Amino acid sequence: MKRHVLHPLWVAIGVVGLIFFARLLLVPDDFGVHGDSFTYNYHRLGNIEEWKDFPVKYQGTATCSECHNDNARTHRRSPHKRVQCENCHGPAGNHPDDVEYLPLNKERAMCLRCHADLGYPASTARSNLPAIVDRHHKRGRECVSCHNPHDPREDVE
Amino acid sequence: MSCSRRDFLKDAAGAAFVSSLPLSAFVVLTADEAKAAVANATVRWGYLVDTNKCTGCGMCVKACKNENEIPYDSPVTRTWVERYVVTKDGAIHIDSPDGGRDGFTSDKIRDEEIDPDSIAKAFFVPKLCNQCDNPACVQVCPVGATYKTEDGVVLIDREWCIGCGYCIMACPYGVRFFHPEHKVADKCNFCYHRITKGMMPACVESCAFGARRLANLRDPDDPVTKIITTERVAVLKDEYGTKPHVFYLGLDNSVR
């Protein structure tokens, strides 16, 4: 064959070889089809474990109750029992190991998330909760200065 | 027709590069991979949203952002709550300020005052990734950075994602966004790190009203699976054929 055909052919074959070699080095061993579908299951297997190792922050009311007995007991008997501790107290994370005190959100806006009267019909779940009109009821004051958030039926002494 | 030696070499190298790309996409299943394909069929995660119970407190959005390290004040979120107010004249008012992160404490919708007497119905609709059986977002990924696990959850490989954004455009539900810190695509994964440890997703855990629940659809005794299989549930945008696995109770026609 003529030189002007063979020469570029070798170059082309070399480039293809180079791409396969680069692929061998760059693509991790666990990359492949891990499932029944090439379209949906083509991935790096190790990534699943990486996601499983993501740190958990919200530990749940049961965990809080292990130490904070008094508040947990009051809370358990109150209409607020379905509200998780960490909704207001923030995620526990590794408390008390890392963080000794959790920042407590006492803002009025916190309570208004559920207890602001929006004037919706009774078919709206929100309308079945006790509610205030923000601009009419004790404007600007913190709700917790009068109402005990662990048991809202009790007043604060 | 003229063709210099230099041009010819350039074209030949280009053609070789292009033709080698599909070649590199062929992968033969090993015995272990084939086995993995049929094993682990005991879990398929699904999700149930009861819009009748949602009060729009937004605790789920707050918990999700904290749990999954989504920058709190960035306008991105893995889950959000939409408010729908339908007035008697048929108009539909929709809003979701900050994705409902701080709840809905004002009766104004987009600065618009709505007369309470004119309201026919009002409700809140939580949205999250549907963990589709035919995920459009996964199909379009050019690098294999997003994929479906054996238990049905669609994950994103942060090491492998190149941030091209195809998946963000492909998702019909708009659940994907660009993570401002990791510079990759991001979305809800049912708190994969929690559900694989036997815990509930942060949004489910923080919902005081039972509006959000997780189900293992392969377990016929799962109480939430029983609801999904025996009651009248709906999914979002069924016509796209993505087979979403977030089921809704009390879904209104006005929800998009």
The pLDDT, as a whole number, for residue B95 is 96
According to DSSP, the β-strands at B212-216 and B177-178 are: unpaired
**In the A/B pair of chains, how many CB contacts fall below 8 A?**
194
| pLDDT class of B21 with cuts at 50, 70, 90 | low
The pLDDT, as a whole number, for residue A79 is 94
For domain B45-131+189-249, give its CATH number from 3.40.710.10, 3.40.30.10, 3.40.190.80, 3.30.70.20: 3.30.70.20
Give the model confidence (pLDDT) of B203-233 as tens digits: 999 999 999 999 999 999 999 999 999 999 9
The pLDDT, as a whole number, for residue B104 is 96
Contacts B56 to A, Cβ<8 Å? 113, 126
- Domain B132-186 class in CATH: alpha beta
Give the model confidence (pLDDT) of B103-125 as tens digits: 999 999 999 999 999 999 999 99
Of B5, B63, B147, the CB nearest to A58: B63
Of A23, A52, A109, the CB nearest to B193: A52
Query: Minimal Cα–Cα distance from A64 to chain B, Å?
Result: 14
Question: Does the structure show a pLDDT above 60 at B29?
Answer: no
The pLDDT, as a whole number, for residue A157 is 63
Examine domains B45-131+189-249 and B132-186 and report if their fold is the same. yes
- Dig out the tokens for B22 from the structure: 């599909």
Of A15, A82, A91, the CB nearest to B67: A91
Contact: A42, B206; criterion CB under 8 Å: no
Cα distances from B15 to residues A9, A13, A20, B235, in angstroms, run 11, 11, 15, 46
Chain A residue with the nearest C-alpha to that of B153: A48
DSSP string, chain A: --HHHHHHHHHHHHHHHHHHHHHHHHS-TTEEE-SS-TTTSEEETHHHHHHHTSPP----HHHHHTT-HHHHHHHHTSGGGGS-HHHHH---TTTTTS-SSPPP---HHHHHHHHB-----TTSGGGGS--B-TTTSSTT--GGGTB-SSSTTSBP-
The pLDDT, as a whole number, for residue A39 is 94
The pLDDT, as a whole number, for residue A31 is 94
Give the model confidence (pLDDT) of A83-103 as tens digits: 999 999 999 999 988 888 888
pLDDT along chain A (157 residues), means of 10: 88 97 93 93 96 96 93 94 94 88 89 95 94 91 92 81
Question: Does the structure show a pLDDT above 80 at B242?
Answer: yes
The pLDDT, as a whole number, for residue B33 is 57
Question: Does the structure show a pLDDT above 70 at B179?
Answer: yes
Q: What is the ipTM of this complex?
A: 0.89
